[in-house]
Structure 1
C-alpha cells in the first residue's frame, strides 16, 4: 500500500511540476501512476491533498537548507542574521517559475478545506520552522511564549511578503527585487521588539527583587 501511495504522489509531483493545478485531474494522476482512479481514492488521496503533499516536500527541503545555512553562520551572527538565513530558502521558493504554484500552496495550506493527512503534515512543517526561529530568539527556552509569538509573527511576515507578487498589491514590486529587503526589515523589527521586551522584563525584576513581575509566559 505504501508503494502505491508513493507511486501516486510521485506521479502527482511530475504533473504538478509540468502543468497548472487546474490543468491536472485525478484521472491524469492515476494514468501517470498507472493505477485505477478508484485506487487513488481508496488510499484516501485527493487532488488537493496530493498538491499539498508535493509542495510539502519543497517546503521541507527549504527548511532543511535554511537550518543548515543558519548553523553555518555560527554564534558570531546576530539573531536577525540567523533568522534571515533560516527563512531565505523558504522565501526563494516564491521566486521564479514555481512562484504562482507556491502561492496557491500557501493559500490552500492555511485557508483551504482539505482534510488530507498532507495538510496536517504541512502544519507540522510550519510548526518546525517556527520552533527553529524561537530557538534562535530564546536558545535557553525556545518554548517561551513571547519567543513563540515572535516566531509566528515572522512567519506571518514571510507568508505575506511572498504572497504579494501573486496579487495586485505586489504587481509592481516583485519579491526578487523588493521582497527580500522588506522581509529583512520586518525580521529586524520583530527581533528588536522581542529583545527589548526581554531586556525590560529582566531590568524590572532586577530593580524590584521582592516584587512579582509578570513573566513572558
Structure 2
C-alpha cells in the first residue's frame, strides 16, 4: 500500500502542530506546566490562540502530545508483526518496556519529559486518554491473533489491562520491575498460595 504524499496545506498543518508541540514541551520543562498559559505557547510559535485550538482541540494538556496515531499503530504492529513463537502478551510486554517510565536507558531529555508527564496530573491524565483510545483496536487485534470473536471479553480485558499499566505503575519506585510483575500476572495468573504444613 502506497501513501499519498501530503499536500501543501497538510504539510503546513503538520509543521505548525509539531512547532506547537515542541514549544509546549520546552516551556513546560523550563517553567512548569501550571506557569505556562495557552497564549504563551501560541506566542512562542507566532500563531493566535484560536489557531492553536484549531490544531489542538483538546487544549493545553494535549499540546505536547501527538494525535495518538503513532501510539496506536505501534501497538497494533507489536501484536501483528511479532516474531513467530512470541505470544501476544510477550510482544506487548516488549513494546511497553520501551515506553515512558519503563525505558531502560532513557536520554536525559527523555527522562525529563517522562518526569514532567508523570508528575503533572493534567498531562498524565491526557497520556492515559491517548492509551485508552487504543483499547478497541488493540482488543480487536488481540482477538484476531487468537482467533476469537472481535468483541471477545477476554481480548477486551487484556487490552484494557495492558493500556492501564503506564498509569497504574508509572510512579512506582522501580517502574520497570512493576511492569514485568504485571505482565507476569497477565501471562501466568496469580501464583498458587503456599502449601500449609
TM-score normalised per structure 1: 0.58
Give aligned pairs, total. Answer: 169
CA shift in 2, pair 1:11/1:28, >3 Å: farther
Residue segments in structure 1 that go unaligned for 5+ positions in a row: 111-118, 165-169, 195-217
2:155 is matched with 147
Matches within 5 A, 1:1-217: 6=14, 8-20=16-28, 21-40=33-52, 43=54, 45=56, 49-57=59-67, 60-68=69-77, 73-92=82-101, 96-103=111-118, 104=120, 105-108=123-126, 110=128, 123-133=132-142, 135=144, 138-162=146-170, 164=171, 170=172, 173=173, 178-193=174-189
Distance 2:138 2:102 in 1: 15
**Cα distance in 1 between the residues matched to 2:66 and 2:26:** 17
Unaligned runs of 5+ in 2: 1-8, 191-197
Q: Which has the higher helix share?
A: 1
- TM-score, normalised to structure 2, is 0.62
Q: Is the radius of gyration larger for structure 1 or structure 2?
A: 1
1:18, distance to aligned residue in structure 2 (A):
1.1
Q: CA deviation at 1:3?
A: 7.3
Per the alignment, do residues 147 and 126 of structure 1 end up closer, same or farther by CA in structure 2, a change over 3 Å counting? Answer: closer
RMSD of aligned alpha carbons = 3.7
Aligned-pair CA distance for 1:98: 0.9
